[in-house]
Amino acid sequence: MAGILVAKIALNAATYAIDKPYDYTVPEEVADTLRPGMRVVVPFSAGNRHTEGIVLTLEADRPPEPKRKRILTVLDEEPVLDAKALRLALWMRERWFCTVYDAARAMLPAGLYFSLQDRWVLKEGVDQETALAATGKSEQGRQLVELLFAWGGQADVRQLKEAFGTKDPNPALKLLRDKGVLTLETSASRGVGDKVEQVAALAIPPEEAMAQFTGRRRSAPLQYAVVELLCSLGSASAKELCYFTGASSATLRSLAKRGVLTLEQREVFRRVALPEGVEAAGEPQLNEEQQRAYEGLDQLVRSGQPSAALLYGVTGSGKTQVYLKLIRRVLERGGSALVLVPEIALTPQLLRLFSAHFGDQIGVLHSSLRAGERYDEWKRIRTGEARVVIGTRSAVFAPLTRLQLIILDEEQEPTYQSENVPKYHAREVAKYRCVQEKGLLLLSSATPSVESMYRAKQGLYHLFTLRRRYNERPLPPVEIVDMKQELRSGNGTDLSGALKKRLTEMMERGEQSILFLNRRGASRMVSCGECGEVPTCPRCSVYLTYHSANGRLMCHYCGHSEPLPDACPSCGGALNFIGTGTQKVEEELKQAFPQREVLRMDTDTVSATQTHEKLLARFEREKIPILIGTQMVAKGLDFENVTLVGVISADLSLYAEDYRAGERTFSLLTQVVGRAGRGTKGGAALIQTFTPEHDVIRCAARQDYDAFYAQEIELRRLRGCPPFQDLFVLTASARSEAGALRACMRMRQALESWLRQPPLEQLTLRILGPAPASVVKVNDRYRYRLTLACSNTKQIRALVAELLRCAQADKENRGVSVFADVNPLD
Residues 6 or more apart in contact with residue 66 via CB below 8 angstroms = none
pLDDT tens-digit map of 29-44? 999 999 999 999 999 9
pLDDT on residue 179: 82
Given the DSSP bridges, would you call strands 525-528 and 684-689 parallel, antiparallel or unpaired? unpaired
Closest CA to 200 of 157, 156, 147, 258: 258
pLDDT on residue 492: 85
Check whether the bond before 759 is cis (ω within 30° of 0): yes
Q: Are 590 and 542 in contact (CB under 8 A)?
A: no
Contacts 24+ apart (CB under 8 A), 80-86: 80/37, 80/38, 80/39, 80/54, 80/108, 80/112, 81/37, 81/54, 81/107, 81/108, 82/37, 82/399, 83/36, 83/37, 84/436, 85/37, 85/397, 85/399, 86/36, 86/37, 86/54, 86/56
Q: How far is CA 407 from CA 233, 245, 431, 585, in A?
A: 41, 48, 10, 36
- Global confidence as pTM: 0.82
Cβ neighbours around 29 below 10 Å, total: 9
pLDDT on residue 267: 65
Please tell me the distance from the alpha carbon of residue 239 to that of residue 471, in angstroms, as a whole number.
50
Backbone angles phi, psi at 577, to 5 degrees: -105, 125
Closest CA to 100 of 118, 87, 112: 87
Closest CA to 822 of 792, 793, 798, 795: 792
Please tell me the distance from the alpha carbon of residue 107 to that of residue 426, in angstroms, as a whole number.
12
- Ordered by where they begin, the domains of the chain are 5-113 (3.40.1440.60), 117-190 (1.10.10), 196-267 (no CATH), 288-471 (3.40.50.300), 478-521+582-717 (3.40.50.300), 523-579 (no CATH), 726-822 (3.30.70.600)
The total number of residues written for the chain in this structure: 826
Residue type, 110: A
Straight-line distance from the first to the last Cα atom of the chain, in angstroms, rounded to the nearest whole number: 55
Closest CA to 773 of 525, 542, 534: 542
Percent composition of the chain: helix, strand, coil (DSSP 3-state, to 5):
40, 25, 40
pLDDT on residue 464: 97
pLDDT on residue 251: 87
Please tell me the distance from the alpha carbon of residue 471 to that of residue 473, in angstroms, as a whole number.
6
Please tell me the distance from the alpha carbon of residue 314 to that of residue 305, in angstroms, as a whole number.
28
pLDDT on residue 2: 47
pLDDT on residue 411: 94
Please tell me the distance from the alpha carbon of residue 515 to that of residue 467, in angstroms, as a whole number.
26
Given the DSSP bridges, would you call strands 552-554 and 403-409 parallel, antiparallel or unpaired? unpaired
CA angle 71, 72, 73 (to 5 degrees): 105
Closest CA to 275 of 353, 189, 184: 353
Please tell me the distance from the alpha carbon of residue 730 to that of residue 732, in angstroms, as a whole number.
7
pLDDT on residue 635: 64
Residue type, 106: A
Closest CA to 237 of 225, 217, 222, 252: 252
Check whether the bond before 770 is cis (ω within 30° of 0): yes
Query: Which helix (DSSP H) or strand (DSSP E) does residue 784 occupy?
Result: strand 781-790
Residue type, 544: L
SS3 116: strand
pLDDT on residue 328: 95
Please tell me the distance from the alpha carbon of residue 781 to that of residue 800, in angstroms, as a whole number.
23
**Positive or negative: CA dihedral 228, 232, 233, 235:** positive
Please tell me the distance from the alpha carbon of residue 447 to that of residue 311, in angstroms, as a whole number.
10
pLDDT tens-digit map of 641-685? 888 989 998 888 787 778 898 999 999 888 888 777 666 677 888
pLDDT on residue 1: 39
Strands (E), 570-683: 575-578, 598-601, 626-629, 642-647
Low-confidence ranges of the chain (pLDDT < 70): 1-2, 188-196, 267-278, 345-348, 368, 470-472, 606-612, 634-637, 677-680
Q: How far is CA 329 from CA 16, 294, 350, 354, 634, in A?
A: 43, 11, 19, 14, 31
